[in-house]
Amino acid sequence: MKNPFRWFLTGPDKPRITDPQVVRKQFLKRRYSGVIAMTIGYAMYYVMRLPLSVAKQPLLEAGLTAPQLGVIGAGLTIAVALGKFTNGFIGDHANIKKIIPLGLLGAAIVNVVLGLAPVYYGLFVVMWVLNGCFQSMGSAPATVSLSQWFPKKQLATWYGFFGIAHYLGEGLTYVGTAFIVAALGWRQAFLIPGVICIVLSAVVFYFMNDRPQTYGLPSADEFAGETALAKIEEKTSTKEAQIEAAKNPFVWFAAFSAIFLGITRYSVASWGVIFLQEQGGYEIVTAGSTLGIVAVMGGVGSVLSGIISDKIFKSRHAITSIVFGIVMILGILGIVTLYENRMLCMVSAAVYGFALGIELSFLGGMLAVSLVSQKATGAAMGMVGLLAYFGATAQEIINGWMMGHFSTTVDGVTTYHFESIIIFWVASTILMVVFVFPVLYGQIRQEKRLRQEELELKKVNTSDSIETL
C-alpha cells in the first residue's frame, strides 16, 4: 500500500535542460509567477485569521466574554506554533505548490462554517484551533519556496517583498472586514471572505511551483552564477543541515527575540481595535482604519527591508533589527499614549507599522534563515515560528485576563482599564530588541566562516586546474 503522504513530497529531479535561453525563460517565468501567487495566497491567510480581531465587540455583545475570546485566540496561536514547527521541518522535503493552497482552502472552510454556525464557546474554540492548523501551512513552507527560487544574496530582498502579504492581509481585514461588520454584521465577515478564499486557493495552486530541479532547471544559486555557494550547499544533506540548525544557539536567540515580537505584534493586531474603541472612544471603522495604517506602512517597511539592510547596513540583518526595534518602541509608545489626538495616533501607527514591517522580515524568520544552510530554511523558520507563536499565544491569554481583571462594572456598563496592558506591550517590545544582540555576534562569526570556506574551495579548484594542465 502506497503512503498517501508521499503526494506532498517534492518531486524527483528531471534531466537538466541544456538550452541556456530555455532555462532562463522558464526559470524566471516560474520564479515570478510563483512568488506573486504565494504572496497573494498568504495575504488571504491573514484575512482568514483576523476576522475575530475585528469582530470582538459584536461577539462580546453576542454572549462571549473577554477571557473566552482570549482562550479562542490562544487556541489558534498554539495550533500555529506547533504546526509551524512541524511544517517547517516537513517543508524542507515537501512540494510547496501543494502545501500552501491546501492550508488556505482549509482556513476558508473554517471561516465559512463559523459564519453559519451558532455562537457556542466550545465550537469557536475547536474551529479556531483547526484554523490554526491550516494557518501553520503558510509562512515556513513559503520561505522554503523562496529559498529554492532565489539565491541567498537576494533572499532578504525577496522575503521583504513576500512580507507584503502580512500587511496586505491585515489591511484588507482591518478596513474591508470592518466595513462588512458595520454594514452586514459579524457573520458576513467570516462568510464572504471565506467563500472568496475557497476560489483563490485553486488559483494559487495553479501558479505555484515545486523546486527548480523538478522541472529540469538549476538551483537558484547556480542560476545566479554563485557556484561556490552552490557547492558548499551540496556538501550537506537536508537532515544534517536541519540538525545543525537545531544545535545553533544563535538561531535560538533569534527565536527568543521572536517570542516578544509575537507578543507585541499580535497584542496590537488582536486587541488594538478594542483598545482604541474602549480607551479612545473610536468607532469600529475609525479604529480599524487607524490600524489599517499599520498594515499599509508595514507593507512599505517589508518591501524596503531587504534593500535597507543590504545597502545601508551591509547585510548585517541583526543591526537592522536593533535599529528598527528601537523605532518600533517609539511607535507603540505613541499609539498607547497619544490616542486622544487621532492625527498623532495615526502618525504613531505609521511609524510602528513601518518598523514592524522591517522587524517581521528579519525577526520573523530571515535573521534565523541567514544563519543556516538553504536546506534547513524550513527548520529555522519552524524554530522561530514555534516560539513566536507561543508569544502570540501568551499575549492572547494575558491580554484577555487583564481586560477581564482590570475592569469595573457600574449599572450594567463595563469599563476596561488598559494601564497594565500598555506596560505589557511596551516591555515586550524592549525585550524583543535585547535578544537580538547575541545574534549580531553569531552573524559576524558565520560571515568569517563562510569566507574561509569559499577561500578553501577556490584553492582546491585552482589546484585541480593546475593538475589538469
Domains annotated for the chain, with CATH where assigned, are 25-214+234-463 (1.20.1250.20)
Q: What span, in angstroms and rounded, lies between the C-alpha atoms of 347 and 337?
A: 12
Contact 211, 142 (CB under 8 A): no
200: pLDDT confidence band, cut at 50, 70 and 90?
Answer: very high
* Between 242 and 353, residue with greater pLDDT: 353
Question: Global pTM?
Answer: 0.74
Find where cell 566562516 sits: 449
DSSP-based three-state secondary structure for 242: helix
Q: What span, in angstroms and rounded, lies between the C-alpha atoms of 416 and 37?
A: 42
Q: Which of 80, 145, 47, 46 is nearest to 390 (CA)?
A: 80
Q: pLDDT tens digits for 48-64?
A: 988 887 787 788 888 88
Find where cell 497619544 sits: 338
Q: What is the structure's pLDDT at 196?
A: 93
303: pLDDT confidence band, cut at 50, 70 and 90?
Answer: confident
Distance of CA 301 to the CA centre of its chain: 14
Average pLDDT, the chain: 84
Contact 294, 352 (CB under 8 A): yes
Q: pLDDT tens digits for 311-327?
A: 888 778 889 999 999 99
Q: What span, in angstroms and rounded, lies between the C-alpha atoms of 52 and 72?
A: 9
Does position 186 have pLDDT exceeding 80, yes or no? yes
